[in-house]
Structure 1
Amino acid sequence: MIEKITIRNIATYDTKGVEIKDLKKINFIYGANGCGKTTITKLIDDPEHADFKDSSLSWKNGLSIKALVYNKDFRERNFGKGKIDGVFTLGQATKEEKEAIEKMKEQLDELKKNGIAKKEAKEKQEQVNNQYVDSFKEQIWSEVYKKYETDFKDAFSGYMRKDAFKAKLIEEYKTNTTITISYLDLKGKAQTIFGQTPILIDLIQLPVLDRIIQIENDSIWKKKILGKTDVDIASLIQSLNMNDWVNEGQTYLQSNKNTCPFCQQETISDDFRKQLEKYFDKAFIEDTNTVKALFDEYSNLSEFALNLLTQIETSQKAISNSKLNIDLFSASTKTLISLMSENVAHFQSKIKEPSRVIIITSIEQQTEILSTLVLNTNKQIDSHNKIVNDLSNQRSNLIKEIWKFLVEDHKASIEAFLKKSNGLTEGIKKLNEQQEEFRKKYIELNKAISEANKNVTSVQPSVDEINRILKSYGFLNFEIVPLETDPNQYQIRRDDGTIAESTLSEGEMTFITFLYFLQLSKGSFDESSITEDRILIIDDPISSLDSTVLYVVSSLLKEVIKNIKKREGNIHQLILLTHNVYFHKEVSFVDGRTPINGDTFFWILRRNRNITSVQSFEMENPIKNSYELLWKELRNREQNDSITVQNTMRRIIEHYYKILGEYTDDALVSRFDTVEEQEICRSLISWINDGSHVIPDDLYIEHQDTVAEKYFEVFKAVFDKTGHIEHYNMMMQVETTISTVV
């Protein structure tokens, strides 16, 4: 049966719309003409119509069944053509045939019950599985996506929703065979590949320092460069350790003078010159020349190396994604320069004092540090350049490597999830197979019932039943008869044989169409489907009937209601909509002992400013009698328009004072003490009467406007001034307190 009706964006239903939910087996919806009752019936009759694209019906267990709708469209569709389609029933079936069909119906109900049970079990299992999946999805989102979003966001592109991310992780677990790489390596590659579009980086060319190291390691620096020992002056020079002093001084000897550069005496003889030349022989000169040459070469090479190292440092600092450890390179370069500067100073002292032995600190160790640093850097540059040259493949491979890392890092959680989820899914699959088996059996049995119905159905019982009810209630001048040319269709004929359809009164036509609808509710236009389950939707079946026929229709519907409550027959739900208070009271009354019933719910539809709203009263019937209803509408005046409030106030005063209390307008006015109060009361009565007949008296339920509040206090004062405030408080359900004076 229908559990909820949602209707919006049509007729008097606005964008917000209305929801009629928690529908029961029996549902009474009361509402004035024009408040949207028929629109509801049209939705149920044809929910797929384009007009109802924003509306919907919710069925119990998601299973829809046939809905028979009685409204103006039904009357126009089935009457007015001169002939009426026949309604097939089981009226002519034998007892055995009916029992056989009934037994199959019971089996069909059991299959349906079992199918629904399997469906509910499956849905419960699906709910458990969905909750488990959602829990795992939230866990993965928090522990994986959020943790690595900053580093690997590009790899997550296309999977930045929880469902998609979870599905991707499971897929990678099943298919990814890439070798696992560490997080730090992945992060480094990601910075290159996922950052700005990378460009090629030149390899670092470290200056060749091998020759500098060779110069530093030359044995000349540890050699004492002395003159020839077999010269006469050698012993004196060497004993006084004046080798370097004399060597330097001889450079000041002038070839054409005999003045000593040391004592400035004329002591330099040709012999002395010859002895000095012999002492500082060719070997001495070669060694000192070697020292000078090595010094010059070292100075030039170190200056070149210094410039190149400075260029490397400057250029690498300008590269945003440099692979070089700038800090370590700068520190090593400074140490290297410092060492070379010290060595240059030592070399200079050797030139000045050739006999001096100097200790050189080699730059070899620093060179190795720089070489290793540059070598490793160039490896990274080479890897970077390979990525740049093959960016598309590198990006694809990196994404696979990242997902593989994530899978391995959370492998235990994934495997635990799959184990439990697969078990739940397998259970759901088995329940679905069992449900499908019941469904197939249901279809087969339903087909067998249809075939059995075809053999035992007839339209004549419907004809006989309609005519019986017509005659029982005084409709004697016409009846339903089968067509001579087609016994499966009806005509409405008078006693003289003329067709009566066009001459029937509106009340007669309404009554006969409703009887026809009731027969259809028990049967079908198709003999194969007369026993199928159905629900009834009835819209104002008594709009033009007198009180006697109103009672008949009420009685017929109460029988339908009793059968639905007792679960007898194939009608499972009734939704009845009406604007008539008396019919509503009559048809909803069962007995005085059961004023409420869990199978029966009540609603009131109202329209305010051309917008429909609904109020649920659940098991409490809001329609008791017309006078009580007037006060009820006044209590709900904020939901009614000013016209309804006008009419309601007039009718209360008219009923209570003029009929019961025999008060005239002047008598009511005279109850007020001051002229001002009397004028207000007279204004109220005039205002009420002015607006009292703009709508029919049957329209008890409408909407309100704020203008009513201007006169409501005066309305209350009428009861207060006439000594009937207790009646006002009772009808308005005003709580009063009694104080005791001690």
Structure 2
Amino acid sequence: MLTKIKVHGLSTFFNASVLETDKKVNLVYGLNGSGKSTICKFLRNPEGAEFTSCFIEGGEGATIFVFNDDFIHENFYESEKIPGIFSLSKENKEFERMISEASTSKATLLAEKESQVSAYTSALSKLKAEKEKVVEAIFEIKRKYSGGDRILKFCLEGMMANKDKLAEHLCAISKPVAEPEFTVKQLQEEARRLTTSQGKPPETELKMIPSYNLVETHALFKTAIVGSQDSTFARFINNLRNSDWIRQGLEKYVNQDGELPQSCPFCQQPTLSNHILEHLRCYFDKTYDVQIAELNSLCSNYIAVIERIPKLSEYQKSLFYSDSIGVLYTQLQTILLGNKLLLDKKVESPSTVIELEDTTEAVNKLNTALAAANANIVTHNEKVRNAKISLAEINSKFWSLMRWQYDANIVLMQTIDQDMAQLQKSHKGEIDKICAAISQLDKKIVELQRQVVNTDEAIGKINAELVKMGIMDFAIRKHETSAHLYELARSSEVPGSFKTLSEGEKMIISLLYFCELCMGTQNPDKPSSKRIVVLDDPISSLSHIFIFNVGRLIWSHFLRNAQIEQVFIFTHSLYFFYELTEINPENRKATQALFRVSKDATGSKIFLMSYEDIQNDYHSYWQIVNNQNSPPALIANCMRNILEYFFGFVEKTSFGNVFQKSALQEPHFQAFNRYMNRESHSFGQNVFDLKEFDYEAFRRGFKLIFEECGYREHYRKMEKIR
């Protein structure tokens, strides 16, 4: 039994639509062009290349028989020789019993096989769901590293759209012995440097910092530079501790070549005689001048070296500049600035004793960081020269790191794969045993069928049904060249051509042939199997006089036949749809499922339908007809469906007889009559010409039918529906 039919990507099924059922009888209603025939084409050849986006579930071991235009064309149009139908002779009861027993055993085995397959499928689905969760977790790699700056996107090429491929790639990588010492951030930085350096000059090494140790430890800084102690003023100046003050006053404010006495720069009194100046000059002797000169030289050199240090912004231009370099640089500059302030103080007051902070440690730390950066620069320049190899190394490191980080997921996925393999192994053995037993039964059934099959019974049954329907002009008989072929014969015993039959006759004879085919087989060497029957609008070309006969035929051959496992009947006719529904609500609920196929701007869709919706559809036809803005073809089609339903089902009047009223023979009703009287909506000649459509003319003709037949009040009631 088919439990699910999914249709997608065919004709007007732009989006996936699903029919799910657990019933034997499935009635599907839909207007012409809604997509019914598309579903039937798929069921006739579910393995077809055009149906790759569609699938069916269930139906294990069953043969699907589909009655549609393709079936009629293949069996009747392509050759006048109709394939014979082999059926079991009822005369040999013993063979019939043996075949029945073998078929029953086969059915039991098929049920057992289906149970095994179902259990396997269920368990496999659970494992697949678990694996999908793991694969989804691993796919987080793609989400993390293909977005943002996308610098590591090259590591994911070929796997960004395929979750399974990414997971398989990661599983194929051996787990590192120890946790990698590098991080994703480091790999990103390396990749970024490589990509930004392509086509540019090599990276320049960072300038090292000179040592200041020899200057900073000079003894002169710890020495108080004062004048000669042999001077007359030495003791006095020392007591005042103002030698620097006196030196500055002497150098800056006393005119050495001016007239004497001069004014003292401090007290502004004319006290500076030649005698005093000489004693002051003796105090600031040559030794003092030498020490001052040396001090100035030391300070100048120290400052010059400081100024030769590159600015921080120069280091920051490098791809290999780091925050640690910036911190160490700032620390050194802080020390140097402090030392410079001390030197300025010493120069200003030579007698002041200072001690410079040793920069040795700060310089060494900064130079160590710069040396490490320079080593990386050398390596980087080499990698840029071999960029392809370098990027491949980053790719390898990246996946090695991912393998370590996602190890728990990979172990879980490998465990699930092992469980799936074990599950397949255990169930496959059981299923293979059952299949072998079924194969043996098939051989036995075929051998038994060869003893008793014939093509005569099908001929008799088809011809008997033709007589019941009042068709006497032609019949089926064995072909004159082969007992295994049929041909049409006129009542005059002259062979007939299928192409010369009316559309209704073609439909009747092909449907009767199909009914017998579902009971027998065209191949006597093929074992019997469960049978699923699909009928695509079997009354589309028939007048209402035959619809009851076809309904009775379907009830007896398929709906009430235990040999038929499942039936799908597609129709555009509400009357025929109603004719096939089970009257008893409980029986209908237990055995039948009702569906509707509809089409709108978004495509065709399949919906579950209730029994009460049949009446609602009649009302919906009126809604469309009463809306002048509805598409012309849809209005005309709904008018025909209303007339077909009302006069065929409610009034039990022949559809064609309705149009024999003289009032409807007026010339302006010709287009209306021509469209309404078409026997079928499925054949090519029924193309609707929009230029023929005149809403008011069609509406007047439509109204006139009800008035001429005595249903004026019904029309007035229904035309109010909006």
By how many angstroms is 1:520 displaced? 1.6
Counterpart position of 2:108: 110
Residues 337/598 of structure 1: CA separation in 2 closer, same or farther (3 Å cut): same
Q: Is 2:37 aligned against 1:27? A: no
Which amino acid letter does the alignment assign opposite residue 516 of structure 1? Y
Q: Secondary structure at the match of 2:88?
A: coil
Counterpart position of 2:5: 4
The CA distance in 1 between the partners of 2:59 and 2:526, in whole Å, is 22
Residues 644/451 of structure 1: CA separation in 2 closer, same or farther (3 Å cut): same
Query: Do 2:135 and 2:163's aligned partners in 1 also have CA atoms closer than 8 Å?
Result: yes
Deviations 1:391-416 (A, max 9, x none): 54554444555555555556556656
Q: Is 2:453 aligned against 1:457? A: yes
Residues 291/428 of structure 1: CA separation in 2 closer, same or farther (3 Å cut): farther
Q: Secondary structure at the match of 1:576?
A: strand
Deviations 1:566-595 (A, max 9, x none): xx32x3233334567776665x27676877
Which amino acid letter does the alignment assign opposite residue 517 of structure 2? L
Q: Secondary structure at the match of 2:322?
A: coil
Which amino acid letter does the alignment assign opposite residue 554 of structure 2? L
Q: Is 2:369 aligned against 1:373? A: no
Q: More displaced, 630-639 or 187-196?
A: 630-639
Q: Is 2:533 aligned against 1:536? A: yes
Q: Secondary structure at the match of 2:565?
A: strand
Query: Do 2:534 and 2:568's aligned partners in 1 also have CA atoms closer than 8 Å?
Result: yes
The CA distance in 2 between the partners of 1:654 and 1:413, in whole Å, is 67
Tell me which of 684, 693, 702 is aligned to 2:673: 693
Query: Do 2:227 and 2:234's aligned partners in 1 also have CA atoms closer than 8 Å?
Result: no
Counterpart position of 2:591: 599
Q: Secondary structure at the match of 1:622?
A: helix
Q: Secondary structure at the match of 2:533?
A: strand
Query: Do 2:86 and 2:524's aligned partners in 1 also have CA atoms closer than 8 Å?
Result: yes
Query: Do 1:579 and 1:698's aligned partners in 2 also have CA atoms closer than 8 Å?
Result: no
Counterpart position of 1:203: 206
Which amino acid letter does the alignment assign opposite residue 316 of structure 1? Y
The CA distance in 1 between the partners of 2:338 and 2:499, in whole Å, is 126
The CA distance in 2 between the partners of 1:650 and 1:409, in whole Å, is 70
Residues 389/237 of structure 1: CA separation in 2 closer, same or farther (3 Å cut): same
Query: Do 2:474 and 2:488's aligned partners in 1 also have CA atoms closer than 8 Å?
Result: yes
Deviations 1:500-530 (A, max 9, x none): 5579864666554443322221222211225
Tell me which of 521, 524, 529 is aligned to 2:521: 524
The CA distance in 2 between the partners of 1:402 and 1:205, in whole Å, is 33
The CA distance in 1 between the partners of 2:105 and 2:650, in whole Å, is 60
The aligned runs of 1:287-436 (5 Å cut-off) are: 291=291, 294-295=294-295, 297-309=297-309, 311-319=310-318, 322-323=321-322, 325-326=325-326, 328-340=328-340, 342-343=342-343, 346=346, 359-364=353-358, 366-391=359-384, 392=387, 395-405=391-401, 408=404, 415=411, 419=415, 423=419, 426-427=422-423, 430-431=426-427, 434-435=430-431
The CA distance in 2 between the partners of 1:33 and 1:151, in whole Å, is 55
Return the index of the structure with the highest Cα Rg. 1
Query: Do 2:221 and 2:353's aligned partners in 1 also have CA atoms closer than 8 Å?
Result: no
Q: Is 2:628 aligned against 1:634? A: no
Query: Do 2:228 and 2:288's aligned partners in 1 also have CA atoms closer than 8 Å?
Result: no
Counterpart position of 2:614: 622
Q: More displaced, 611-620 or 188-197?
A: 611-620
Residues 362/119 of structure 1: CA separation in 2 closer, same or farther (3 Å cut): same
The CA distance in 1 between the partners of 2:111 and 2:100, in whole Å, is 16
The CA distance in 1 between the partners of 2:498 and 2:317, in whole Å, is 100
Q: Secondary structure at the match of 1:488?
A: strand
The CA distance in 1 between the partners of 2:459 and 2:14, in whole Å, is 46
Query: Do 1:68 and 1:521's aligned partners in 2 also have CA atoms closer than 8 Å?
Result: no
Query: Do 1:90 and 1:456's aligned partners in 2 also have CA atoms closer than 8 Å?
Result: yes
Query: Do 2:321 and 2:373's aligned partners in 1 also have CA atoms closer than 8 Å?
Result: no
By how many angstroms is 1:74 displaced? 1.5
The CA distance in 2 between the partners of 1:408 and 1:607, in whole Å, is 53
Residues 100/306 of structure 1: CA separation in 2 closer, same or farther (3 Å cut): same
Deviations 1:628-647 (A, max 9, x none): 99777436756851575499
Deviations 1:513-568 (A, max 9, x none): 4433222212222112251333333355567879887665544332223444xxx3
By how many angstroms is 1:336 displaced? 1.9
The aligned runs of 1:145-156 (5 Å cut-off) are: 146=144, 154=152
Counterpart position of 1:738: none
Which amino acid letter does the alignment assign opposite residue 329 of structure 1? Y
Residues 123/290 of structure 1: CA separation in 2 closer, same or farther (3 Å cut): farther
By how many angstroms is 1:650 displaced? 13
Query: Do 2:205 and 2:377's aligned partners in 1 also have CA atoms closer than 8 Å?
Result: no
The aligned runs of 1:129-278 (5 Å cut-off) are: 129-136=127-134, 146=144, 154=152, 157-158=156-157, 160=160, 163=163, 167=167, 170-171=170-171, 174-177=174-177, 179-181=179-181, 183=183, 186-188=184-186, 190-195=188-193, 197-198=196-197, 200-213=203-216, 216-217=218-219, 221=223, 264=274
The CA distance in 2 between the partners of 1:323 and 1:145, in whole Å, is 28
Residues 550/339 of structure 1: CA separation in 2 closer, same or farther (3 Å cut): closer
The CA distance in 1 between the partners of 2:356 and 2:60, in whole Å, is 90
Residues 509/406 of structure 1: CA separation in 2 closer, same or farther (3 Å cut): closer
Query: Do 2:61 and 2:110's aligned partners in 1 also have CA atoms closer than 8 Å?
Result: no
Deviations 1:691-726 (A, max 9, x none): 8634446989999999689989x99xx99xx99989
Residues 408/469 of structure 1: CA separation in 2 closer, same or farther (3 Å cut): closer
By how many angstroms is 1:335 displaced? 3.0
Tell me which of 534, 549, 554 is aligned to 1:557: 554
Query: Do 2:541 and 2:679's aligned partners in 1 also have CA atoms closer than 8 Å?
Result: no
The CA distance in 2 between the partners of 1:81 and 1:4, in whole Å, is 33
Residues 491/616 of structure 1: CA separation in 2 closer, same or farther (3 Å cut): same
The CA distance in 2 between the partners of 1:607 and 1:289, in whole Å, is 110
TM-score, length-scaled by structure 2: 0.68
Counterpart position of 1:45: 44
Residues 193/469 of structure 1: CA separation in 2 closer, same or farther (3 Å cut): closer
Residues 8/428 of structure 1: CA separation in 2 closer, same or farther (3 Å cut): closer
The CA distance in 2 between the partners of 1:504 and 1:263, in whole Å, is 155
Query: Do 2:24 and 2:567's aligned partners in 1 also have CA atoms closer than 8 Å?
Result: yes
Counterpart position of 2:658: none
The CA distance in 1 between the partners of 2:679 and 2:499, in whole Å, is 30
By how many angstroms is 1:129 displaced? 3.0
Residues 595/655 of structure 1: CA separation in 2 closer, same or farther (3 Å cut): closer
Deviations 1:637-691 (A, max 9, x none): 568515754995999899999x9xxxxxxxxxxxxxxxxxxxxxxxxxx999898
Residues 641/453 of structure 1: CA separation in 2 closer, same or farther (3 Å cut): same
Which amino acid letter does the alignment assign opposite residue 321 of structure 2? S
The CA distance in 2 between the partners of 1:643 and 1:348, in whole Å, is 112
By how many angstroms is 1:90 displaced? 2.6
Residues 210/462 of structure 1: CA separation in 2 closer, same or farther (3 Å cut): same
Residues 151/474 of structure 1: CA separation in 2 closer, same or farther (3 Å cut): closer
TM-score, length-scaled by structure 1: 0.66
Q: Is 2:485 aligned against 1:489? A: yes
The CA distance in 1 between the partners of 2:648 and 2:467, in whole Å, is 41
Q: CA RMSD in A?
A: 6.1
The aligned runs of 1:665-676 (5 Å cut-off) are: none
Percent sequence identity is 15
The CA distance in 2 between the partners of 1:440 and 1:27, in whole Å, is 33
The aligned runs of 1:463-478 (5 Å cut-off) are: 463-466=459-462
Deviations 1:226-268 (A, max 9, x none): 78xxxxxx798988889999x999xxxx9xxxxxx997479x9
Which amino acid letter does the alignment assign opposite residue 622 of structure 1? I
The CA distance in 2 between the partners of 1:654 and 1:240, in whole Å, is 144
Task: Give ranges in structure 2 of 5+ residues lacking alignment.
Answer: 251-255, 257-270, 654-665, 683-687
Q: Secondary structure at the match of 2:532?
A: strand
Q: Secondary structure at the match of 2:299?
A: helix
Query: Do 2:151 and 2:188's aligned partners in 1 also have CA atoms closer than 8 Å?
Result: no
